[in-house]
């Protein structure tokens, strides 16, 4: 099997699953309980928190464990907007956000908030000065994705953060889900107040995530109940999942240190070969993109058909964001980048992991060369 849909989810590493299993059976207590198993579970939870905090170069108190990216984004965005609604009801985001961000803002619009969607250039990148221009006296939150999940563009988070420093009452959130393993962000240097991470995107297990909450940031919680996670996220902590996530993040950072170069070369190789291919249009920018995402369009072809054909040959890719790939709509990101409807309707994404090998990419290219001309004949692409 060649699995190239790592931006949708990754395969948990064996040692991560082992840690999960061990934590689930040996530290099964409720971390809030007063008895010994509870105390031990709490100790493990605290250690996992410290480990994640040190990998992210934050303080342990700034880590809130969540169920993943969607919850982190919703908590960050709605939590901030609602908490500060008496000070202002204007929010800023971009046109290339993940659905969990976009939909959270839509709901806030329905609640009477005003949202400005800042557009992007042809590489899918937002200009920091465009964001700054939209800031008003009643703006309470700016949310910008760090690495685009569909085409891999890296947004200038640090520059945006520096510009927003002039507005000390404003909160700055970034969806760091695609960046956590491959494009680490220095949260304090980037002046980020809130940052979302998801464990299953770096070989952890599903249902785990982190919301970084800079010291002094207050939120209105989405779930009410106990006092877990400083009351920002009530509910018994997923100790085995969190343990597994901490381990996966640590291993990811180690592998990034030794393999970033290799991944970049692999990505450049795929991009260059695709650029040479007739009928293919690469949507991922050459420069300033993550090392693990390549997005390509075959205008005139239906991407679902290509995906089907690939999966038959045991190659597994996806169309756009997994969260929206079942909807037969064009890629909103490719569209927002102004690359035209033909490209937006036919985009395919290959996303690597640290385990992706060069032979897999070579084989993928061979299959493309074999099936794409064939399909064009049948589907009459040359209109």
Partner 1 sequence: MKYDHILIRYGELALKGRNRSDFEKKLKENIQFTIREHPSCKVRRTYGRMMIELNEEKPDPVMEKLRHIFGISSFSLAMKAENEIEAIKEAALQAFLQHEGKKGTFKVSARRSYKPFPVRSQDLNQYIGGHILRNTDEVTVDVHHPDVEVVVEVREQGTYITCGRMAGSGGLPVGTAGKVTLMLSGGIDSPVAGYLAMKRGAELEAVHFHSPPYTNERARKKVEDLTKILTSFGGRIRLHVVPFTELQKAIHANIPSNYAMTIMRRMMLRITEKIADIQNAKAIVNGESLGQVASQTLESMHTINEVTNMPILRPLITMDKQEVVEVAEKIGTYSTSVLPYEDCCTIFLPSDSVTKPRRDKAARFEEAFDFEPFIEETVKKVETLNIGSEEESADQQMDDLL
* Residues touching partner 1, count (CB under 8 A): 17
Q: Does 203 bind partner 1 (CB under 8 A)?
A: no
Tell me the closest approach of the beta carbon of residue 231 to partner 1, in angstroms. 16
The two three-digit tokens of residue 207, written as one number? 């249902």
Q: What is the DSSP string of 286-319?
A: SSSB-TTEEEEE-TTS-HHHHHHHHHHTTEE-BS
- CB nearer to partner 1: give 41 or 190: 41
Tell me the closest approach of the beta carbon of residue 18 to partner 1, in angstroms. 8
Q: Which of residues 237-266 bind partner 1 (CB under 8 A)?
A: 243, 246-247, 250
In angstroms, the CA 328 to CA 69 distance is 23
Query: Quick check: helix, strand or coil at residue 64?
Result: strand
Instruction: Identify the helix (H) or strand (E) that includes residue 349.
Output: strand 347-351
Residue among 2, 4, 19, 164 that touches partner 1 (CB under 8 A): 19
Q: Does 205 bind partner 1 (CB under 8 A)?
A: no
Annotation says 195 is catalytic: no
Buried residues in 23-46 as b, exposed as e (16+ CB within 10 A): beeebebbbeeeeeebebbbebbe
Helix axes of 14-26 and 239-276: crossing angle, nearest 10 degrees: 160
Identify whether the C-beta of residue 173 lies closer than 8 Å to the C-beta of residue 194. Answer: yes
Tell me the closest approach of the beta carbon of residue 16 to partner 1, in angstroms. 10
Q: Does 83 bind partner 1 (CB under 8 A)?
A: no
The two three-digit tokens of residue 144, written as one number? 């910008």
In angstroms, the CA 173 to CA 286 distance is 26
Q: How many CB atoms lie within 10 A of CB 252?
A: 24
Q: Does 181 bind partner 1 (CB under 8 A)?
A: no
Q: Does 14 bind partner 1 (CB under 8 A)?
A: no
Stretch binding partner 1 (CB under 8 A), from 16-24, 103-111, 181-189, 357-365: 16-24
Query: Quick check: helix, strand or coil at residue 253?
Result: helix
Give how far Cα 60 sits from Cα of 53, 56, 250, Å: 5, 10, 15
Tell me the closest approach of the beta carbon of residue 121 to partner 1, in angstroms. 40
Tell me the closest approach of the beta carbon of residue 234 to partner 1, in angstroms. 19
Residue among 9, 11, 17, 22 that touches partner 1 (CB under 8 A): 22
- CB nearer to partner 1: give 246 or 361: 246
Tell me the closest approach of the beta carbon of residue 52 to partner 1, in angstroms. 9
Q: Which of residues 35-64 bind partner 1 (CB under 8 A)?
A: 35-36, 38-39, 43-44, 47-48, 51
Residue ranges binding partner 1 (CB under 8 A): 19, 22-23, 34-36, 38-39, 43-44, 47-48, 51, 243, 246-247, 250
Residues with catalytic function: 323
């Amino acid at each position: 099997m060649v699995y190239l849909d790592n931006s949708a989810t990754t395969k948990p590493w064996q040692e991560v699953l082992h840690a999960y299993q061990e934590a689930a059976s040996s530290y099964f207590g409720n971390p809030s309980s007063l008895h010994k198993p509870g105390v031990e579970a709490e100790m493990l939870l605290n250690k996992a928190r410290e480990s994640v905090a040190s990998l992210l170069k934050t303080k342990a108190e700034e880590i809130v464990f969540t169920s993943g990216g969607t919850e982190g984004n919703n908590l960050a965005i709605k939590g901030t907007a609602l908490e500060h609604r008496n000070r202002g009801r204007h929010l800023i985001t971009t046109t290339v956000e993940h659905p969990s961000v976009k939909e959270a803002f839509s709901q806030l619009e329905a609640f009477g908030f005003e949202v400005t969607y800042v557009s992007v250039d042809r590489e899918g990148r937002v200009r920091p000065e465009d964001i700054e221009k939209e800031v008003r006296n009643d703006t309470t939150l700016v949310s910008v994705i760090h690495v685009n999940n569909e085409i891999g563009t890296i947004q200038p988070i640090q520059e945006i953060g520096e510009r927003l420093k002039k507005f000390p009452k404003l909160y700055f959130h970034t969806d760091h889900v695609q960046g956590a393993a491959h494009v680490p962000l220095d949260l304090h240097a980037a002046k980020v107040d809130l940052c979302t991470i998801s464990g299953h995107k770096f070989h952890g297990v599903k249902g785990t995530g982190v919301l970084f909450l800079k010291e002094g940031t207050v939120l209105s919680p989405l779930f009410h109940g106990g006092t877990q996670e400083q009351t920002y996220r009530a509910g018994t902590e997923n100790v085995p999942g969190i343990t597994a996530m901490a381990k996966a993040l640590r291993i990811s950072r180690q592998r990034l240190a030794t393999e970033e170069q290799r991944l970049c070369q692999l990505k450049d190789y795929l991009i260059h070969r695709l650029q040479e291919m007739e009928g293919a249009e690469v949507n991922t920018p050459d420069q300033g993109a993550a090392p693990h995402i390549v997005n390509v369009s075959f205008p005139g072809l239906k991407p679902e058909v290509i995906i089907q054909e690939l999966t038959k040959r045991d190659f597994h890719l996806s169309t756009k964001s997994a969260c929206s790939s079942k909807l037969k709509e064009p890629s909103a990101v490719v569209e927002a980048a102004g690359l035209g409807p033909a490209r937006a309707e036919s985009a395919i994404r290959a996303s690597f992991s640290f385990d992706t090998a060069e032979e897999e990419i070579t084989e993928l290219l061979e299959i493309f060369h074999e099936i794409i001309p064939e399909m064009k004949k049948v589907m009459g692409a040359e209109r």
